[in-house]
Amino acid sequence: MGPHKVQEAFEPPKPVSDPAHQPLIIGSGIAGLFVALRCRELGLRPTLVTKTTLEESNTRYAQGGIATALGDDDSVELHWQDTRNAGDGLVDPEAARVLTFEAPARIADLVRFGVPFDTVDGKIALGREAAHSRARILHAGGDATGFQVEETLRSRALAEGIEVLERTVLRSVDVSTGGPTVILSTHGRGEVRVAGRPIVLATGGAGSLYRQSSNPSVATGDGIAIAFRAGALLTDMEFVQFHPTAFAREGAPRFLITEALRGEGALLTTLRGERFLKGRLAQGELSTRDVVCRAICDELGHSGAGWVLLDATAIPRDRLFARFPTVCRFLATYGLDPSRDPIPVAPAAHYTIGGVATDLEARTSLPGVLACGELASTGVHGANRLASNSLLEGLVFGERAVRQLLHPAPGGPKPPARLVRIRLDPGEGHDEPGRILPRVGELLWAQVGIVRNGPGLAEAGRELGRIQRECEPRSGELAGRGANATLTARIITRAALAREESRGAHYRSDFPRPRAAWRRTLGIAMGARRAGPLA
């Protein structure tokens, strides 16, 4: 890769009255689209940047829904409590309060934008998911919630004439001269440097770095790596949430089989049809995802099989097909009818709990750079995200990002209680994603997965370090996809190695219990290697 030629402005140039009012929003999932629409409503002139097309994002595949306390028997306080309980001692109570208390107002925004939530007797229908004490999951099109939200917001953004740059990849962020300067690379049009505009990072998580993942291939965590390269503080990177029930058949994608099916009564069984959670987990099929995943791993260890079964045959057929059309359509392509056939399932990487550290106003540690959605680490999920809180997080902290864009004020994330530094040296620049991504995916799945241990993490870290020396750019060049993927994987691995306990989604077989000394947030930042409490 040679030195970079950078244009100074987009072509054709847009009339810019005040760049501070022209935010650049990177990422077109629920967070990016929502921020763009709210900016537009409030008189800003946003540009939305997306690395493939406006349609493609993790949001589109979200089946479960959006959690919000709307039921007569529910309250925002109960939602707050459930969120804190799921997070296993690490949820930031203030962040979770913001999330749950502001949820109803953000749902009202979505209704105003035209999202067709499913209703019963004229009221929004509410479903049940694991670790929620009340039915509070809003859905649209049955199990097509993400698709319906994405389509509604996307059409509206186009109708509003919001400037959209498709097939445009964020290459770097630089805050060394004060405000942010970013380099974007548009397919077929080369690179542009954009300076002086506020940046909202909403590039999503890193789930698809794992060999087995419920995420689309765009979810490679490149925004996390790019922010880190710019000097951003990351937190909670060791917490990767695995989903217990992704479709498991040789050669098939690990398509999500929504937890809402278990909420409706579907049961997990061995290949012989015996329930294996009953009597072992108090909440049975509706226990938190980490414990269900580990119980499935144990069962797979005993049986030697590659999957267990999710038996939804007790749910009436009409109900099954009306409530879960996406899952039923998908299964039909494999000749399965869930009203008759138990579904082969196994865990898959699903959600990146950590990411770019932010405060309650979506401010990162980089001046002029805000972050929201899965990329951001707000502290709302703690060590374990409560189901259907993720689309909500994009909305609630997206709104707070818009507020910051309108009335910028200084601030940023709290310093974490512990900090690990990772050193980044220039490498050989052989960035071949087709070769690197499968190696990274295999290492993460084998050594940094549902059950981890110190020696495995250390070995994975060394191997990722070797891969990084190959693909990390030479001095003065920009990092590519392989280098960013490797860096994100290395960060997850390093954080998982540092956290010598088990908590929430992070399970270490060599430290199988939570430890009081680790009831604290772990940060990762660039710099000379050292670990310890912050001064």
Taking the complex as a whole, the smallest distance from the CB of residue 149 to ligand SIN amounts, in Å, to 13
258 in contact with ligand SIN (CB under 6 A)? yes
Write out the two tokens for 39: 């900016």
Q: Which residues contact 381 (CB under 8 A, 6 or more apart)?
A: 83, 86, 87, 91, 236, 239, 353, 389, 393
203 in contact with ligand SIN (CB under 6 A)? no
215 in contact with ligand SIN (CB under 6 A)? no
Distances in Å between the Cα of 460 and the Cα atoms of 466, 479, 482, 529 are 10, 21, 16, 17
Taking the complex as a whole, the smallest distance from the CB of residue 156 to ligand SIN amounts, in Å, to 23
Q: Return the range that interacts with ligand SIN (CB under 6 A); candidates 48-56, 115-123, 163-171, 253-261.
A: 253-261
The rounded distance, in Å, linking the Cα atoms of 137 and 119 is 12
352 in contact with ligand SIN (CB under 6 A)? no
Taking the complex as a whole, the smallest distance from the CB of residue 129 to ligand SIN amounts, in Å, to 7
Q: Return the range that interacts with ligand SIN (CB under 6 A); candidates 190-198, 256-264, 294-302, 403-411.
A: 256-264
226 in contact with ligand SIN (CB under 6 A)? no
> 394 in helix, strand or coil?
helix
Write out the two tokens for 196: 């002086």
Among 28, 50, 59, 63, binds ligand SIN (CB under 6 A): 63
Residue ranges of the alpha helices (H) in 129-233? Answer: 145-159, 222-229
505 in contact with ligand SIN (CB under 6 A)? no
418 catalytic residue (yes or no)? no
**Please, which residue, 64 or 347, has the CB nearer to ligand SIN?**
64
The rounded distance, in Å, linking the Cα atoms of 325 and 128 is 17
The rounded distance, in Å, linking the Cα atoms of 348 and 509 is 19
**Residue 68: closest CA among 98, 100, 96:** 100
Residue whose Cβ sits closest to ligand SIN: 64
**Please, which residue, 203 or 245, has the CB nearer to ligand SIN?**
245
How many residues lie near ligand SIN (CB under 6 A)? 10
Q: Return the range that interacts with ligand SIN (CB under 6 A); candidates 5-13, 255-263, 338-346, 517-525.
A: 255-263
Catalytic-labelled residue, pool 289, 363, 400, 418: 289
Q: DSSP label at 413?
A: P
64 in contact with ligand SIN (CB under 6 A)? yes
447 in contact with ligand SIN (CB under 6 A)? no
523 in contact with ligand SIN (CB under 6 A)? no
Site string for ligand SIN, 363-392 (x = CB under 6 A): ------------------------xx-x--
**Residue 225: closest CA among 23, 527, 445, 526:** 526
259 in contact with ligand SIN (CB under 6 A)? yes
CB 428 within 8 A of CB 469: yes
The rounded distance, in Å, linking the Cα atoms of 112 and 122 is 16
Q: Name residue 195's beta-bridge partners.
A: 181
Catalytic amino acids?
A: 289
List residues near ligand SIN by CB under 6 A.
Answer: 63-64, 256, 258-260, 351, 387-388, 390
